[in-house]
């Protein structure tokens, strides 16, 4: 690790280098192919002492031979497996790369074992499984390559290793029992084409290897506006059922009725049956709360109950305050008091508990603060103003959750904040991305929640809300745009997809078709556009309409039959009508075909998005470093002929704490005690590795070994991947020199378009990033 910096950084780098040598990875080595096995080729398989159990040879993409692994005769969680011997370098950092056909869709998993020990973790480890499956084609009509590093402690001193590829069925990451978590393998895996070992993070792909090509750009021919007719019919059917229901309604059912009361096309629009049905439901919830006061903390009828409590009731009361008003001072059946007093009691309990139990992860923080605190207080303010917090005070919880003000953490009974993350921790970066343990793909798509937060401050329909929140919503929305890249939808038509492969909390690949806002359970793709009126976002949404991906996305969303999705559909027709009424704009997303070269970097999240010609290069240099500095980066390179997905060694400079974290023997989760235990006895290839812990700010509560957004964060990252060289400076006050290898002496700075010339290094200033591409 030979990076020079200003004088203040020399000791930091020297100690970091010493720490690096104690870990299980080595860096900055040239890429060199070591070995290659072609599956389905008898000569190649024999050469590598290949054996297979429950496998068959197929003719796959581009008529290339491949093997699939099959379910067992009596399906269980494991399927077939392959074993071979592959050459490795006894000294250098070794990698394994698997070649797969990008048009395949398969949910099975593929575990890599090296000399009998598991490489990587099944779920959210800093090294993934060799194949995590996909929900849609990753790369239509072309191959992709997935790369993992082999720990030095396994390969050191060896010239060959025994590699095993073991197939598993899919798993449900949120399952809390073995049966709920791990599913049986009931179908063959996708085709496995070639397995390679190599040094350096980038496999040198042989020139003779067949490559495909992306389908020609084509606009999706359908569906069309008829989707909205079906949508309205679905929502109205649900609303009719709620209006006629004999059982008292749950919070989320009351919420849908309350929102639909002002939607002109709905059967609930100013329907006199809404008010008594909602009143009955609120009464029932209070009586249930009186029997079980913990409902104010966690109502099991809601999604993620502890984030909402009974706060949705506060929103319902705010939405229907005028029509409900007449009943507030009536005595509630089954009590000796009025509805006003009863509802106020449960909303106050909800608000106060959620002030004392705030959430750290950004999306969870937003939901907790919006519903558990803000809406509970908003309903309380309408019922019992003297018991409510002042609006200016309670709005600060929203400001904190969206990153406008430092997040103060949970409060004690006296209202004093814990400041768990110190005095200066923000929930979003200065550039607008959610800030946790690095870039978040799927779970970072918080535009639905930020839009709801903004809308909660609107005095009435169509009126402007809090201007600070609106400006922050714009910033967050625009920060997500570089993470939509031009590709194809599942049918091969032109589309933008959300980047998830470099997201630290992601496990669904590829990302959804997304232009501005990812369609979620709770929000449609036009919600943020219509809430902000931002002209750039309007242009990007019009691009989605021009590609005819809006109706396709909504049709796909409606394949999910849940009540939650139905409720989220309610505002979509109105948002579409509002967008259609606007004049056409020319703005198109910066990652669209034909757009100029583009670089976006967020130094606080340690993530880079690059468009260079027809290629897209994404990298998370701060990659799942939960407990300590791990010297690993994650890369997704999209090209017209193939994709690369890789976890690679990188160089990192940081201020050491003097403490180390020793990797435990986990093979399932890379966190939380390893997650659910598997019935097999397989040990981790990474167990025992000692990783250095970076210095944690003095005002942050921390114990050695804990998950922390500081313990694994470096000040400077140097990632060299093929023709891309990244120098990302996360430090707020130090400069670093990015060493330029000889092959980059004629490189181009992507952001400026200027060549580097013969310079041996380039200065990277505080909180800035340099991306060089070797031409």
Q: Residue 4 — very low, low, confident or very high, per pLDDT cuts 50/70/90? A: very low
- Sole residue written with tokens 């049956």: 273
pLDDT of residue 637 exceeding 80: yes
Can you read off the two tokens belonging to residue 120? 């990587």
The CA-based angle 117-123-128, given to 5 degrees, is: 60
pLDDT of residue 261 exceeding 60: yes
Q: Residue 27 — very low, low, confident or very high, per pLDDT cuts 50/70/90? A: low
| Torsion over CA: 192, 193, 195, 196 (sign) | negative
pLDDT of residue 506: 92
pLDDT of residue 25 exceeding 70: no
pLDDT digits 0-9 by tens, 83-92: 999 999 999 9
CA–CA separation, 764 and 621 (whole Å): 15
Q: What is the DSSP letter of 216?
A: P
In the chain, pLDDT over 90 holds for what percent of residues?
A: 92
CA–CA separation, 689 and 702 (whole Å): 21
Per-domain residue ranges for the chain?
A: 31-210, 232-420, 428-498+506-581
pLDDT digits 0-9 by tens, 392-424: 999 999 999 999 999 999 999 999 999 999 999
Q: What is the DSSP string of 210-249?
A: ----PPPP-------THHHHHHHHHHHHHHHHHHH-SSPP
Q: Residue 12 — very low, low, confident or very high, per pLDDT cuts 50/70/90? A: very low
Query: What predicted TM-score, i.e. pTM, was given to this entire model?
Result: 0.94
Q: Residue 718 — very low, low, confident or very high, per pLDDT cuts 50/70/90? A: very high
pLDDT of residue 614: 96
pLDDT of residue 3: 26
Burial of residue 333 (number of CB atoms within 10 Å: 0-12, 13-18, 19+)? exposed
How would you label 503-523 residue by residue, b for 16+ Cβ within 10 Å and e otherwise?
bbbbbbbbbbbbbbbbbbebb
Average pLDDT over the chain reads 94
pLDDT digits 0-9 by tens, 597-609: 999 999 999 999 9
Q: Which of these, 330, 509, 15, 505, lies nearest to 497 by C-alpha position?
A: 509
pLDDT digits 0-9 by tens, 454-492: 999 999 888 899 999 999 999 999 999 999 999 999 999
Taking a C-beta distance cutoff of 8 angstroms, is the pair 320, 334 a contact?
no
Between strands 51-53 and 78-87, the pairing is: antiparallel
Q: Which of these, 114, 125, 204, lies nearest to 150 by C-alpha position?
A: 114
pLDDT of residue 733 exceeding 90: yes
Burial of residue 289 (number of CB atoms within 10 Å: 0-12, 13-18, 19+)? buried
pLDDT of residue 23: 45
Which range (9-23, 105-119, 528-542, 592-606) has the least confidence? 9-23
- Sole residue written with tokens 């060493």: 739
Q: What is the mean pLDDT of residues 19-28?
A: 46
pLDDT of residue 117: 98
Burial of residue 686 (number of CB atoms within 10 Å: 0-12, 13-18, 19+)? buried
Can you read off the two tokens belonging to residue 263? 């939607």
Instruction: Select from 2.60.120.260, 2.60.40.420, 3.40.50.720, 3.40.50.40 the CATH code of 31-210.
Output: 2.60.120.260
Q: Which residues pair with 578 in a beta bridge?
A: none
Alpha-carbon distances of 514 from 190, 494, 558, rounded to whole Å: 26, 12, 16
Q: What is the mean pLDDT of residues 645-666?
A: 98
pLDDT of residue 757 exceeding 90: no
- In three-state secondary structure terms, 587 is coil
- Sole residue written with tokens 């690949």: 509
CA–CA separation, 148 and 110 (whole Å): 12
Q: Which of these, 547, 541, 570, lies nearest to 558 by C-alpha position?
A: 570
Q: What is the DSSP letter of 662?
A: E
- In three-state secondary structure terms, 65 is strand
| Torsion over CA: 289, 295, 296, 301 (sign) | negative
User: Which helix H or strand E contains 643, and what residues bound it?
Assistant: strand 642-649
Give the largest CA-CA distance in the chain: 86
Between strands 143-150 and 94-101, the pairing is: antiparallel
pLDDT of residue 238: 98
């Amino acid at each position: 690790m030979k990076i020079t910096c200003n004088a203040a950084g020399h000791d930091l780098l020297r100690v970091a280098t010493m720490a690096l040598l104690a870990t299980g990875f080595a860096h900055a080595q040239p890429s060199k192919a070591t070995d290659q096995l072609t599956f389905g080729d008898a000569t190649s398989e024999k050469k590598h002492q290949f054996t297979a159990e429950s496998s068959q040879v197929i003719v796959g993409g581009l008529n290339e031979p491949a093997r699939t692994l099959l379910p067992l005769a009596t399906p269980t969680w494991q399927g077939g497996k392959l074993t071979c011997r592959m050459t490795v370098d006894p000294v250098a950092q070794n990698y394994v790369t698997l070649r797969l056909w990008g048009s395949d869709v398969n949910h099975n998993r593929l575990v890599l074992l090296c000399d009998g020990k598991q490489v990587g973790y099944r779920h959210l480890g800093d090294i993934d499984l060799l194949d995590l499956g996909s929900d849609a084609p990753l790369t239509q009509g072309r191959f992709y390559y997935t790369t993992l590093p082999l720990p030095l402690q396994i390969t050191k001193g060896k010239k060959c290793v025994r590699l095993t590829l073991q197939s598993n069925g899919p798993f449900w990451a949120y399952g809390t029992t073995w049966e709920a978590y791990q599913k049986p393998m009931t179908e063959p895996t996708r085709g496995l084409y070639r397995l390679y070992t190599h040094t350096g993070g980038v496999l040198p792909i042989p020139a003779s290897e067949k490559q495909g090509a992306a389908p020609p750009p084509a606009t999706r021919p359908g569906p069309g506006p008829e989707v909205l007719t079906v949508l309205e019919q679905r929502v109205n059917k649900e609303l009719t059922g709620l209006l006629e229901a004999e059982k008292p309604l749950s919070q989320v059912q009351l919420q849908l009725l309350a929102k639909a009361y002002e939607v002109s096309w709905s059967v609930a629009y100013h329907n006199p049956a809404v008010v008594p049905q909602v009143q009955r439901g609120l009464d029932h919830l209070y009586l249930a709360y009186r029997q079980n006061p913990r409902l104010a903390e966690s109502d099991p009828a809601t999604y993620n109950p502890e984030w909402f409590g009974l706060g949705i009731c506060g929103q319902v009361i705010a939405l229907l305050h005028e029509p409900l008003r007449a009943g507030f001072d009536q005595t509630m059946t089954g009590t000796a008091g009025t509805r006003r007093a009863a509802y106020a009691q449960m909303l106050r309990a909800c608000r106060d508990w959620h002030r004392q139990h705030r959430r750290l992860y950004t999306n969870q923080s937003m939901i907790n603060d919006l519903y558990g605190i803000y809406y509970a207080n908003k309903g309380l303010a309408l019922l019992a103003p003297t018991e409510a917090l002042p609006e200016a005070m309670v709005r600060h919880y929203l400001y904190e959750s969206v990153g406008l003000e430092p997040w103060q953490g949970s409060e004690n009974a006296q209202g004093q904040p814990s400041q768990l993350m110190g005095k200066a921790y923000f929930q979003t970066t200065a550039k607008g991305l959610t800030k946790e343990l690095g870039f978040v793909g799927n779970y970072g798509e918080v535009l639905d929640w930020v839009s709801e937060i903004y809308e909660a401050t609107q005095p009435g329909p169509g009126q402007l809300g809090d201007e600070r929140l609106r400006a922050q919503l714009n910033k967050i929305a625009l920060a997500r745009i570089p993470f939509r890249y031009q590709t194809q939808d599942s049918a091969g038509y032109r589309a933008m997809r959300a980047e998830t492969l470099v997201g630290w909390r992601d496990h669904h690949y590829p990302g959804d078709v997304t232009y501005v806002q990812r369609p979620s359970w709770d929000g449609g793709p036009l919600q943020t556009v219509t809430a902000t009126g931002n002209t750039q976002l309007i242009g990007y949404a019009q691009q989605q309409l021009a590609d005819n991906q809006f109706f396709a996305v909504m049709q796909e969303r409606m394949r999910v039959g849940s009540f939650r999705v139905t409720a989220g559909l309610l505002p979509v027709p109105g948002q579409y009508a509002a967008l259609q009424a606007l004049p056409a704009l020319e703005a198109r997303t910066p990652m669209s075909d034909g757009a100029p070269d583009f670089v976006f970097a967020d130094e606080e999240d340690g993530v880079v998005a690059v468009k260079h010609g027809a290629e897209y290069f994404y990298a998370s240099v701060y990659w799942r470093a939960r407990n300590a500095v791990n010297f690993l980066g994650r890369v997704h390179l999209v090209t017209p002929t193939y994709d690369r997905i890789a976890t690679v060694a990188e160089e990192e400079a940081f201020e050491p704490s003097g403490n180390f974290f020793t990797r435990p023997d986990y093979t399932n989760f890379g966190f939380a005690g390893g997650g659910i235990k598997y019935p097999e006895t397989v040990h981790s290839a990474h167990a025992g590795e000692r990783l250095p812990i970076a210095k944690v700010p003095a005002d942050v509560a921390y114990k050695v070994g804990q998950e922390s957004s500081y313990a694994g964060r470096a000040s400077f990252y140097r990632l060299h991947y093929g023709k891309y060289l990244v120098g990302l400076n996360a430090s707020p006050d130090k400069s670093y020199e990015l060493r330029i290898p000889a092959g980059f002496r004629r490189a181009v700075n992507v952001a400026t378009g200027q060549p580097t010339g013969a310079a041996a290094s380039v200065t990277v200033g505080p909180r800035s990033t340099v991306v060089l591409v070797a031409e």
